[in-house]
Structure 1
Amino acid sequence: MNTAARSAPATYAQGIVLMCVGVAFLSANDAIAKSLTSGYSPLQILFMRNLIALPFTMVIALIMGGPSALRSHRPLAHLLRGALWVGAAMMFFTSFIYLGLAEATALIFVAPFFMTLISALFLGEHVGWRRWLAVLTGFLGVLVIIRPGGATFQLISLLPVATALVYAMLMLSARWVDRRESVWTLLVYLTGAGALLSALVVPFVWVPVRSEDLWLFAGIAMCGTVGMTLMTQAFRVAPAVVVAPLDYTGLLWATLFGWLIWRESPDSMTVMGAAIIIGSGVFTIFRERRPGSL
């Protein structure tokens, strides 16, 4: 047995730990954002989050990628990605005002299925019948959660779904970035572009920040930055097929935070729909990582 084979289990374990902890931090980021929506516009929350996080992302990029991580060969591509990021975050934070944390989180997990749709319909990528079946199954899970036409249906439930669509576009837009740029460059410029673009509009919705909320804004910046950094590292040290399914542990954290802070409890239909989305998502991940999979 060679050294690489012997070290694989340890590397996988490291990736699993990094992914799980990173998802927990991002879930805390969402919980803090939801708590702040009672007093601030989602746009102001996003602006403060990016403004505070930017220096930390720059330091992380310098440590992990060196000075070259702060240089971009296609700044316009990052600006366009920043616009997608602002749009997605705005819709997701707005949904927190009306929906439970677990419900909104479950619906955003349809992003991988939108990526499959966009790749097949607009990027010319081949998608076999199994992946199409997984896409349809994932959207069945969405219908179970939002229950269109039912007495409990809320139009606002479509916001996390729209968020997932824009987020899928954001992920695929990484292809616009110069291949010489690292993931740390993407992290810095996404945060910077988000701060810049939201700064153009935030004066129209700005309210004075209460001193007791400063720690919450610092917390959302810290949790978001740490979460993204740990998840990025997880994909660097372990195969995606090992760590990607662990992203769905975010639903467990969302349910826990929702219950502890707001006494929210997802109903049985939300749980069923989330299980359908997660199951089809995990299937898609494993199919995409198999050689010659369709």
Structure 2
Amino acid sequence: MQTNSRGVPHGNAVGIALMCAGVACLSVNDALAKLLTERYSPLQILFLRNVIAFPFALAIAWRIGGPAALRSHRPLAHLLRGILWIGATVLFFTSIMHLGLAEATALIFVAPLFITAISAAFLGETVGRYRWLAVLAGFSGVVIVVRPGTAAFQLVSLLPVATAFVYALLMLGARWVDPRESVWTLLLYLTGAGALLSAVIVPFAWRPVAAEDLWAFVAIALFGTAGMTMMTQAFRLAPAVVVAPLDYTALLWATALGWLVWHERPDLATLFGAAIIIASGVVTIWREHRA
């Protein structure tokens, strides 16, 4: 195995770089979405993002996966995942209309904990006590961030948590897809299903797009597609236990972008709760790797 000058396997080094870049792209994607929610509905943003991104997803799938990536053996599975994708994205875009970018980002990090809990409760998977403790710790971090029963509590703070739950279902829904299909097929059909399904209901929330906002819609499609592509490649090149924890660098980007654009400053409770959620997520990833 090739290594660099520091002894890190080449695949790991490239995977780490791709994961960090991909997370940065998706963080910019979220910031652009927050800007656009000031004038457009989350559903319209999602629709235009997927419509613009679809040709790029098609080109990536064809270039990397070849003709086989364009074929699905279970189209209905992709359609169901498309419904979950729309639900998760609309929930998150709605949340960032009202919450700080860092707070919303911190709360969606409970998705891996939901995946663990759902897998144990409904899929019959064995979950050890350390992973259960990590799940409990993660949800205690959510309570610290949301602060129910206090003056700081906002009902809208539950939207990112709902986003994480639907996103967990989306990730587990990958098991419905035929194992012969590649990750590029999943990326292509997820984008296409999102565009197709949202097209049915977007007329009820449509607002004419101003010329000065076109760049933002194009940018959100490009950054979103680039981010998902780089993160997918990262998992192909390096072990999940190496690259998955780097997803949490999104909180650094969200905090920086929130401060630079909207002058948002997350309070100590949010940062403390986010630290607990991240730590529990890292423990979950590590324990799954050990298993």
Q: TM-score, normalised by structure 1?
A: 0.97
> Offset at 1:4?
6.1
Match of 2:245 in 1: 245
Match of 2:117 in 1: 117
Match of 1:265 in 2: 265
Q: TM-score, normalised by structure 2?
A: 0.98
SS at match of 1:156: helix
Match of 2:80 in 1: 80
Query: Distance between the aligned counterparts of 1:55 and 1:135, measured in 2?
Result: 39
Match of 1:225 in 2: 225
Match of 2:57 in 1: 57
Query: Distance between the aligned counterparts of 1:16 and 1:115, measured in 2?
Result: 23
Match of 2:160 in 1: 160
> Offset at 1:11?
1.4
Query: Distance between the aligned counterparts of 1:260 and 1:5, measured in 2?
Result: 38
> Offset at 1:9?
1.7
Query: Distance between the aligned counterparts of 1:11 and 1:221, measured in 2?
Result: 28
Query: Distance between the aligned counterparts of 2:202 and 2:285, measured in 1?
Result: 38
Summarize deviations over 1:12-70 as a string: whole Å, max 9, x none. 11110000000000000000000000000000000000000000000000011001101
SS at match of 1:125: coil
Alignment of 1:13-92 (within 5 A): 13-92=13-92
Greater displacement, 5-14 / 141-150 = 5-14
2:192 counterpart of 1:192: yes
Q: Which runs of 5+ in 2 are unaligned?
A: none
SS at match of 1:124: coil
RMSD: 1.1
Number of corresponding residues: 289
Summarize deviations over 1:212-257 as a string: whole Å, max 9, x none. 0000000000000000000000000000000000000000000000
Query: Distance between the aligned counterparts of 1:67 and 1:168, measured in 2?
Result: 29
Give the counterpart letter for 1:159 in structure 2: L
Query: Distance between the aligned counterparts of 1:94 and 1:132, measured in 2?
Result: 30
Match of 2:236 in 1: 236
Query: Distance between the aligned counterparts of 2:269 and 2:237, measured in 1?
Result: 37
Match of 2:183 in 1: 183
Q: Which runs of 5+ in 1 are unaligned?
A: none
Match of 2:12 in 1: 12
Summarize deviations over 1:116-139 as a string: whole Å, max 9, x none. 011000000011111000000000
Greater displacement, 3-12 / 216-225 = 3-12
Query: Distance between the aligned counterparts of 1:263 and 1:67, measured in 2?
Result: 47
Give the counterpart letter for 1:146 in structure 2: V
Query: Distance between the aligned counterparts of 2:17 and 2:155, measured in 1?
Result: 37
Match of 2:216 in 1: 216
Give the counterpart letter for 1:85 in structure 2: W
Asked if the contact 2:84–2:169 (Cα under 8 Å) also holds between the matched residues in 1, the reply is: yes
